[in-house]
Every structure is written in C-alpha cells, then in structure tokens.
Structure 1
Amino acid sequence: MADQPQLAADRPAPNSASAPKREFPGQGVAIIHGINGLGLWTLYIKEVRRFFKVQTQTIWAPAITTLLYLMIFTLALGGGSRQVLGVSFATFVAPGLIAMGMMNNAFANSSFNLLSGKMQGTIVDYLMPPLSEMELMIALIGAALTRALLVGLALTGAILLWPGVDLSVAHWWAVIWFGLMGSVLLAIVGLLTSMWAEKFDHNAAVTNFVITPLTMLSGTFYVIDRLAPAFQTASRLNPFFYVISGFRFGFLGQSDIGSTNTAVLHGGIGLGVLNLALGAITYVLLRSGWRLKN
C-alpha cells in the first residue's frame, strides 16, 4: 500500500532540547546599543516636514520682512550715499540682516517643539521613543539649523534684488562658522525655552524681552565704535554681537570686533565654547526630565 502523507498530528514533535530558544532582555536592559541612527533621522525628518508644510510663513515671509528692514533703514539713514566701513550702508547692513533672520528662525523652530507637545498632550511622542537625550537634542537642533539655512538662502536671494548691495564673500570660513554657530546658539536657547515654558505666553516673553532686544542691539544697523564706552562694553557682552559682526566680516573683510583677524577668530572660538556649555546644560536638563516629566 502506498505511503500516505503523514498528518501533522502524527508527526513527531521537534526535539525541544535542540530547538533554539529566543531570549528576551530583562526590564531596563537596552536593546539598541550605540546610536539609534534610524530613530534620529526619523525625528529630524518629522520636524523638518512640520515647518516645511507652512514654508510660506516659516521661510519666505522672513525674506519679505528683511527687504522691508533694508528699505526702511537705507532710506531713513541717507539712502545710497551713506558709507559705513568703507561700503554703502545697504552692503554693510545686508549680512547682519541675513544672520539676524537665521538666528530668529532657529529660535522660533526649536522653541516650539517640546512646548507644543506639552500644550497638546503629545509630549510622550518625544519622550517614549528609544532615543537618548543626545539623539533627541541632535534631531531637534538639526531641524532648527536646517530651517535657519533655508531662511538664510531665501534672505540672500531677496537682498540681491535690492540695487546697490554687494554680497561678495571675503572669508568663507567666517560666513560658515558664524552662520552655523549663531544658528546653533539660538536653537539651543530655543530648546531650553521650550523645556521651561508652560504656555505660549512664556515663549513670547522670552522672544520679546530677551531675543529681540539682544538682536536689535547687536550692531546689525551700526558699528559699536560710535557708542559711548559703557555701551560698547555692554555690546561686547552680547553674544549676538559676535555672530553679526563675525558674519559680516566674512563678506566685507572688516569687523568692529577688533582691528585684526585674530580678534574675529577669538570671537568665533568664544561662540563655540558658549555653545558647548549651553549644550551640556541642555543635555543635563533633558536627562533629568526637568519640566517635562514632572
């Protein structure tokens, strides 16, 4: 009689001793070791898509605002005949406006992330994924930096439409370094603000009473040599001054930070040290769950 197919019930059970056993890690044992690159990239893309969906407001609107600043201040301060640092006033003020726009938008982006999560009850979307505090910081700051760079490109294109503006670059290292350091500085400050704030009024208070005054008094529209000695000292204590003046140095080859390129370099190193210090503070606060898990 031909052999019949063996039913599943009649088949011998596999040898449980020889079958591999899958062991699951215990509670609190990390599964992802090292850097969670996929999770970091996913959060970064999520934050970029969030502001890019409203790019008219987040990217292109600052370009229009900057053109209005340039037009008003150029016409109010003598038109095209006024000279500052040996160039026309429009050429002098243009790099500062670009840097100012980049910093303001870096702050606006990072100061919204965690605050909106607390307000909408979605903060767990940031805290529950298998991301370390450093990965969370890198993703949020990276998204803010991306917005700052896009705004900087939009501002540059808009300012080039203004007659008489020369944006020739004298020192690329200064343009890149001070542009990045200024954007990272405001992104970190925005992240700290987002952690501290409990409502949008708190965020607006930091913007109106801290960020805007420091930005407007950073030497964007003037050189500090024309100020009284006491105000010059106050300006040199303002980190925004070094961002604006260093970024301008990259275009004009001149700066009111100091009479030598070494002074500009020292200002750039100081900004890097400040960012490292603020980044360390932000990391410690994120790790403790300050105002996020309480």
Structure 2
Amino acid sequence: MQSQATPDHSADSAFASQMGDRRFGRFNWLGMVTLGRREIMRFLAVWTQTLLAPLSTAALFLMIFSVAIGKARGEVMGLPFTHFIAPGILMMTVIQNAFANTSSSIVISKVQGNIVDTLMPPLSPLELVLGYLAGAIARGVIVALLLCAGLMLFLGIVPAHPLMALLFVVLGAALLGAVGMVAGIYSNKFDQMAAITNFIVTPLAFLSGTFYSVEALPPFIARLTHFNPIFYLIDGVRFGVVGVSDSAPMLALAVSAGSALAVSALAWAMFRSGYRLKS
C-alpha cells in the first residue's frame, strides 16, 4: 500500500502566526524603516537639487534683504533686521523642502504608475505615514543644520535655545511633510500639485511673519495671522535661534504639534481608505 505524504503545515502555521500578530497590532518596523530609508536615499541621490539649491536660495534672500533694506530698516524687536529675518528664512526653507519631499514622491509614483509598489507590501497606513515623514524630517533637519552653520559663520548668530529650535524644525518638517502627503494623494497630475504649492503653501509661508513682526500689522490682519499654523512654526524657531518671539513659545509649540498631528491623521485616513490611490 502506497504511503501518502503528510503535508507540512509548518510554513502555513508560521505565516498564520505572523498574520495573527499583525492583526493584533505587531508593528512592521522593517517595512517602515525601509520606506523611510528609500525616501532619504531618494533626496540624497540628487543632493545638488534637494540640499544645495535651497541653501543657495536662502543665502540669496538674506543677501538681497541685507543689501537692499537691511541698514535702512533699523532694528526689529531689538534685533538687526538681517538677524530678525534669518530664522524665518531658515524655517521657510525647511517647510518648503519637507513639503516637496513627500508630495513629489507620491505624485511621481502615481504619474509613473508604480505607486502600487509602495501600497502592496504589508505596510499599515500608520507605517506608510511614518515612513514618508521620516524622509521629510530628515531632509528638513539636514537643511536646517546647514543653514544654522551658515548663520553662525557669516552672521555670527549662535542659537539662543538650540534644542527648542531643533524641536520646531522637526515639527515644521513633520507638519509640511504631512501636508505634502495629503497634497500628493489628492493630486493626479503635476499641475494640480503646482496649484496647491502656488496658491496654498507659498502664500501661507510668506504671510506668516517671515519678513516682519505681526506687531507692525493692522489689528485685524494680525489676528488673522494667528490662525496660520506656519506663523507659530516661524515664531517658535525665531525664539529658538535669536531668543525673541511674537507669541508665547509654549503656545507655538502646542499649535505646531497639534497641527502636525491633525494633518498626519488626515494623511493616515487617506491611505487607509485608498482615496485616489486605488482604482
């Protein structure tokens, strides 16, 4: 009598165990780290565009404002005008690069049709959000550190509260990285992304106290400015770098952290539902 081979269920049991662990909340650290590493390597591979170009733009801003109106403007909040605007330009550069990192990654993947390569692996919506944010925060922090080194070297600005400044840089990169994810998921074409950048992100960045103190604004406009979360990011990093601010640093910290969490939750919900990601 021919013996029947007994099926080996060990592989199936291991797979079921892994799936059971995932159902009960096991976090896919390897997958998240791999996605974050991919996002970091993506911008490091073209560092002249992603790191050198923003530094050059920030230096041009500082040079133009310093030469054109620096001495004639006088002091702002007890600081030379160039010293006052330097932290704002730093944060503006950080958030623009964090936004570009996540938004461009998602939109390019959608346009090229390979977004499925990111969605198919066993990554939860939370792991996707954290992986993309890792790249945005890494790019923002590197840009900030390089700019801080330039400010110390050429303007003699030594951060008054370096840990506070770093915290606001991380929060700023996280907030705009999350906004970039939302914008990237929503946009199916590059012109849709350009519209979001030109009509939402850039105006919010420029109308946030980067080049002026809100004390100089009319009362109504000053009140409106306080509804702009980027104002608190710039005000917070200004406190960390030069020690002065328009609002209480703890209020700026709370608004920045709350905004980053809220937009990240929106990105999580969009990944979870597959909105504009799954046909």
Tell me the TM-score normalized by structure 1: 0.86
User: Residue 107 of structure 1 contacts residue 189 of structure 1 at CA under 8 Å; is this kept in 2?
Assistant: yes
Deviation at 1:24, TM superposition (A): 1.8
- Contact 1:60–1:154 (CA under 8 A) maintained in structure 2: no
| TM alignment of 1:47-126, pairs within 5 A | 47-79=39-71, 82-126=74-118
Structure-2 separation of matches of 1:151 and 1:264? 23
Q: Give runs of aligned pairs for residues 1-294 of structure 1, distance below 5 A.
A: 21-22=9-10, 24=12, 30=19, 33=22, 34-79=26-71, 82-162=74-154, 165-257=155-247, 263-294=248-279
Whether contact under 8 Å (1:80, 1:90) holds in the other structure is no
Query: 1 CA distance for matches of 2:222 and 2:9?
Result: 72
Instruction: Note if contact 2:70-2:82 (Cα within 8 Å) is conserved in structure 1.
Output: no
Compare 199-208 and 29-38 and name the one that shifted more.
29-38
Q: Deviations over 1:161-183 (max 9, x none)?
A: 43xx2322222342122111111
Alpha-carbon distance in 2 for matches of 1:23, 1:38: 21
One-letter identity of the residue aligned with 1:265: M
- Paired residue type of 1:62: P
Conserved in 2, the CA contact under 8 Å of 1:225 and 1:256?
Answer: yes
More helix by share: 2
AA matched with 1:30: M
Q: Which stretch of structure 1 is more off in the superposition, 151-160 or 126-135?
A: 151-160
CA offsets, 1:109-137, max 9 Å, x none? 01012211110010111110111111111
Q: Would the aligned equivalents of 1:114 and 1:195 in 2 still touch at CA under 8 Å?
A: yes
Q: Give 5+ residue unaligned stretches, structure 2.
A: none
Query: Shift of residue 227 of structure 1?
Result: 0.6
2-side partners of 1:47 and 1:232: how far apart? 38
Q: Find the aligned partners of 1:241 and 1:53 in 2 and give their Cα distance.
A: 32
Q: 1:269 to 1:14 in 2, by over 3 A?
A: farther
Residues 91, 144 of structure 2: 8 Å contact kept: yes
Which residue is 1:260 aligned to? none
Shift of 1:201: 0.5
DSSP 3-state at the match of 1:77:
helix
- In structure 1, give the amino acid aligned to 2:84: F
Asked whether the equivalents of residues 181 and 272 of structure 1 are also in contact (C-alpha less than 8 Å), the reply is yes
Larger Rg: 1
User: Which amino acid in the other structure matches residue 99 of structure 2?
Assistant: F
Q: Given residue 156 of structure 1, which amino acid in structure 2 is its aligned partner? A: C
Moved over 4 A (4+): 13-17
How far apart are residue 15 of structure 1 and its match? 9.2
Question: Residues 137-195 of structure 1: CA distance to partner in whole angstroms, max 9, x if unpaired?
Answer: 11111111101111112222333443xx2322222342122111111110000000000
Name whichever of 93-102 and 150-159 sits farther off. Answer: 150-159
TM-score by length of 2: 0.91
Letter of the aligned partner of 2:114 in structure 1? T
Alpha-carbon RMSD: 2.2
Q: How many residues align?
A: 273
**Is the 8 Å Cα contact of residues 218 and 241 (structure 1) preserved in structure 2?**
yes
